[in-house]
Amino acid sequence: MAAKYAKLHTDLQQILGLAAPPIAITFANAEPDNMGRFDPKMPPTTEDGRTGRVPAGCVFWMRATERAFVTVPADHANCSVGSYTHGLKSMEEIATNADVAALVAAEWVSPADFPKVASVKSKSNYIVYGPLRDMTSDPNVVFIRLNGKQLMMLHDAWPGARMEGKPQCHIIPIAKEDGEVAVSVGCMLSRVRTGMSNNDISCAIPWAVLPELIGKLRGAVAADERVAQYAAADSRRFQ
C-alpha cells in the first residue's frame, strides 16, 4: 500500500516539476495509529475566544511538506473562515467572531458572500496532513502548489478544473465534496498567514481522480515538449 502512495507522489512531483511535495489531507473520525499529533503550544485566546496551534488551517499545508501529523478541530480554531470551510464550525458559530468582523470591515468580503463559500458537509474528529508518500490509507484530497507554467500544464490536462478566488481554503471542500479539481488564485489572508510565495497557486485534487489526472498530465506534458522543440527550432531563424 505504501508503495502506491509513494509512486503517485513521485509521479505528480516529477511530471509537473513541483518545488513543494504534494500533500495529502484526510478527514477522519478515528485517530490514525502510529502518527503523531501536531502539538505546539497554543497562544492566549482572543477576546472572542479564538486560538489554535497555527494562525489558520492553511498553515498546515506548509508544515505538512515536512512530515505527517494529526490535528483536531481546536487546532484550527484561530481562523473562523478555515474552521467553517473544513466543516469544523457552522456559519452561525463564526458569523459574529472578531476575525470575520475585521474582514467585513476591511471590505474584503461582505455578508452576502458567506453563502457562496464552500464547506465540508460533516464535522470530523481529526484531520490528517502529510506528504502523500507517507500516507497509510487513501486521503480525501491531494494538495499541490503550482507556478504559472505548471498551471498551464494542469489546465491542458484537465480543462474542467474550477478556478476559484477567496477564501483560498474553500478549494478543499470543493475537491472533497464535489469531486472537482479546484485551483485558487489565493487570498491575501492565507498568503500572509502561510508565507506562501507570491508565485504560488494552490490546487486541490480529489483522491478519486488523481490516477486519471496523472495519466492526462503525461500526455499534456509530452505534447508541450514537442511544441517547445518546434518553437525553439523555429525561433532560431530570428537570431
Cell numbers placing 229: 522543440
Which pLDDT band, with edges at 50, 70 and 90, does 1 fall under? low
Lowest mean pLDDT among 3-12, 31-40, 171-180: 31-40
CA distance 137 to 211: 15
The answer to whether the CB of 63 falls within 8 A of the CB of 56 is no
What does the pLDDT read at residue 2?
84
- Asked if the model's pLDDT at residue 120 lies above 80, the reply is yes
Among the listed residues 9, 60, 68, 6, the one whose alpha carbon sits nearest the alpha carbon of residue 34: 68
In sequence order, what are the residues at sequence separation of 6 or more whose Cβ sits closer than 8 angstroms to the Cβ of residue 82? 56, 57, 58, 76, 167, 169
| Helix-strand-coil split of the chain, %, nearest 5 | 45, 15, 40
pTM: 0.95
Question: What's the structural domain count of the chain?
Answer: 1
The 10s digit of each residue's pLDDT in 186-237 is: 999 999 999 999 999 999 999 999 999 999 999 999 999 999 999 999 999 9
Q: Does the bond joining 167 to the residue before it have cis omega, within 30 degrees of 0?
A: yes
Sign, CA torsion 163/119/124/193: positive
pLDDT in tens, 30-74: 999 889 999 999 999 999 999 999 999 999 999 999 999 999 999
Residue 228 structural domain = 2-238
